[in-house]
């Protein structure tokens, strides 16, 4: 049975989807952009700033469902330019410091102003 998760501390979904869906001990978090939850607008013109905001939004969703970054087992990263990979990794390595989740990183066409989008899968034991 699935449970839809919506956090008041993350940006409102911009379409017909939930912030996350929990099925048993698994949590599937929808892709998050660097959207300020208060303004509803993409913020930051640099990859480090956007990466921090994206993971702040993901953290709010994880918390709403009773999960944390320690529970994340898979991360999918979509960068508007792979030239930002090293700078993205600088921020990423402050969030995941041990027992690293599996990860995929690709270059993708994103919404205007977005430099990064991230979705994650988390699991509880």
Q: Which domains does the chain have, with CATH numbers?
A: 2-123 (3.30.1330.40)
pLDDT at 125 over 90: no
Give the whole-angstrom CA distance, residue 65 versus residue 68.
9
CB-CB contact of 54 with 60 (8 Å): no
CB-CB contact of 101 with 73 (8 Å): yes
Residues ≥6 apart with Cβ < 8 Å to 10:
19, 32, 37, 57, 58, 60, 61, 64
User: Can you read off the two tokens belonging to residue 109?
Assistant: 């066409």
CB-CB contact of 122 with 23 (8 Å): no
User: Can you read off the two tokens belonging to residue 75?
Assistant: 């991360």
For residue range 32-64, list pLDDT tens digits in order: 999 999 999 999 999 999 999 999 999 999 999
For residue range 99-119, list pLDDT tens digits in order: 999 999 999 999 889 999 999
pTM for the predicted model, two decimal places: 0.96
Predicted confidence band at 82 (pLDDT cuts at 50, 70, 90)? very high
Nearest to 108 by CA among 82, 89, 86, 84: 82
pLDDT, residue 62, reads 98
Residues across the chain: 125
- Percent share of the chain, pLDDT over 70: 100
């Amino acid at each position: 049975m699935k449970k839809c998760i919506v956090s008041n501390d993350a940006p409102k979904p911009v379409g017909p989807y939930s912030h996350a869906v929990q099925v048993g001990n698994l949590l599937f978090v929808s892709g998050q952009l660097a959207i300020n939850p208060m303004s509803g607008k993409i913020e930051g013109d640099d990859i480090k700033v956007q990466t921090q905001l994206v993971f702040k939004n993901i953290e709010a969703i994880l918390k709403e469902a009773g999960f944390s970054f320690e529970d994340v087992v898979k991360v999918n990263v979509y960068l508007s330019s792979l030239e930002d990979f090293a700078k993205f990794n600088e921020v990423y390595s402050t969030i995941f410091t041990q027992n690293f989740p599996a990860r995929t990183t690709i270059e993708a066409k994103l919404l205007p102003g977005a430099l990064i989008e991230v979705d994650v899968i988390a699991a509880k034991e």
